[in-house]
Amino acid sequence: MRIKTAGWDARYFQMTFQLIFLSYGFLWLHWNTELISGLIFITSGFVFQYIADVLFIKKNALAIRNKNNWQSVLVSCLSLCLLLKTNGWFICVLASAITIFSKYIFRIRGKHIFNPSALGIAATVYLTGNAWISPAQWGSSIVLLFAITCLGCIVVTKVQKLDVTLAFTGTYAALLFARQVLYQGWPLDFFMQSVTTGSLLLFSFFMISDPKTTPDHPAVRIIWAMAVALISFYLTAFKFVNGAPIWVLVCSQPFVPLLDLLFKAKRFEWKTPSVEKKFSIINSTIKPSNNYH
């Protein structure tokens, strides 16, 4: 059984949008150093994926090697390219390693716990102290344009589910609006600048919405996204934490398996041709999944 989405893999859509966003950075905003670190993220990502395939999959008797893993690797690595800034190539390699291996190491009941790129970013920033996130690197006006286009594309093509994205963005924006405009009395453009940051856009469309690391139950999923938004808002507005949503997401994800256990529901699987052929029904929440995304 599979949650109904569009007829094709959402990761192609994500990849396209991430590539457009990235090319905008390279061509218009002249991100020159990011080109090299971007190449390192992607190359090392694929190398680590190969190593992980060799190390982990052969040991697992139930495993069927998924040939279509490259979409997940590319989407995760592009997220790193777009969000993470580092002091050196070895930090990039470390971030890729955490991103890729986290999917194999942190697993409960066949589902990986953390969103790979969110964990990769958070762990690299926290552990090395040599990486950081630049939330404003796209400027404000273009982000709004991208957000609207992105939302439009999803609505028209139904390529991925919007429930988590809308629940998170809606709650977060509503709370910011209530505080900044209604309570503090700042003009509307002050609020617009707060919500149109590139990192927030990428986070809400491509990170928190990852169906593999959100609760299976639809209602629980929405409440969970709203809770992430609430805590992120608190940390941003009152504690002045930069990049709060990513930290909150990573900290909240260990609770997702617990929520899945309490509120049982059908599990999401990427719709990829190879998976379809080899096993089409994954209905059990107890049996380990073979799909290493």
Partner 1 sequence: MKQKLFILSATIAASPLLYSFCGFYVSKADATLKNKTSQVILVRDGNRNVITMFNDFKGDTKDFAMVVPVPVTLQKSDVKVIDQSLFQRLNDYSAPRLVEYYDENPCEPNNRRYKALSGKVSGVMVDEAVVTKSELKKDYHVKVEAQYIVGEYDIIILSAKESNGLKNWLTDNGYKIPKGAEEVLDPYIKSNLKFFVVKVNEQEKKKLPGNFLRPIQISFNSPKFMLPIRLGMANADGDQDLVVYAFTRKGRIECTNYRNVNIPTGNKVPLFVQKNFGNFYDNLFTHQWQRENQDVSFLEYAWDVSPQNFYHCDPCIATAPSEYDLVQSGVWWLQKDWSDYSDVNDDNEDDNLSRNVHFTRLHFRYNRNHFAQDLMFQVTPNTETFQARYVITHPATGNFTCDAGKKYIQELKSRRRGELAELTSLTGKGIDNWQDAASASNDEEDQPEAQYATLLQQANAEDEESNRSVAGIVLLGVTMLGSVGLMRWKGMI
Q: What does the binding site for partner 1 look like in residue numbers (CB under 8 A)? A: 7-9, 12, 15-16, 19-20, 23-24, 27-29, 85, 87, 129-132, 134-141, 183-187, 189-190, 192-194, 197, 239-240, 242
**Residue 246: in which H helix or E strand, if any?**
helix 244-252
Nearer to partner 1, 85 or 107 (CB): 85
The SS3 of residue 85 is strand
Do 177 and 226 form a contact (C-beta atoms < 8 A)?
Answer: no
Nearer to partner 1, 131 or 175 (CB): 131
Do 267 and 282 form a contact (C-beta atoms < 8 A)?
Answer: yes
CB 126 to partner 1: min, Å: 12
CB 38 to partner 1: min, Å: 14
Nearer to partner 1, 184 or 284 (CB): 184
Pick from 154, 148, 244, 155: nearest CA to 201: 148
Nearer to partner 1, 136 or 262 (CB): 136
CB 183 to partner 1: min, Å: 6
CB 28 to partner 1: min, Å: 6
Pairwise CA distance, residues 75 & 15, whole Å: 6
Do 110 and 287 form a contact (C-beta atoms < 8 A)?
Answer: yes
Q: Are strands 111-112 and 131-133 parallel, antiparallel or unpaired?
A: unpaired
Nearer to partner 1, 32 or 283 (CB): 32
Angle among Cα 172, 204, 108 to the nearest 5 degrees reads 110
CB 287 to partner 1: min, Å: 29
